[in-house]
Amino acid sequence: MGLSEREQQLLDEMERRLYQSEADVMQTPSGSRKRLNLRSVVLGIVLGVVGLGVLIGGVAAQQLWLGLIGFAIMLGGALLAFTRRGGDAVDAGAASSRGDRGRGTHPQESFGDRMSRRWDERMEGER
């Protein structure tokens, strides 16, 4: 069943808006990117391996508490390895003084909240 002309126009308009919103989301200022700290990654990997050893030792010794401690060590190592660290306070001040769009007005927003707010602003601007 084919689409009517009006439905085809609506579909094309939705597709254009989707591509525009994807382009806006994918463009981030290079100064605001958080980077992995090499020392944290190495320490996290070491903790993960030690935790895995403790976990296997706990299973081999049939000690539940030792296996749980090993799992907790592995989890802590993974969190440490993959947690991104932000820049120093000087970089944050420079970014807000450049006048980046909406950065200084909502500093405590989560990523989802920020994307939702930007989508709503974009839809209001097109009416």
pTM over 0.75: no
Helix, strand, coil shares of the chain, percent, nearest 5, are 70, 0, 25
Q: How is the chain split into domains, by residue range?
A: 33-85
Cα separation, 121 vs 14, whole angstroms: 16
Place of tokens 């003084």: 97
pLDDT single digits (tens) 40-66: 888 989 999 999 999 999 999 888 999
Which of 20-24, 36-40, 47-51, 117-121 is predicted least confidently? 20-24
Residue 34: exposure state from Cβ atoms within 10 A (0-12, 13-18, ≥19): exposed
Count CA atoms closer than 13 A to 44's CA, side-chain side.
16
Is there a contact between 107 and 89 (Cβ–Cβ < 8 Å)? Answer: no
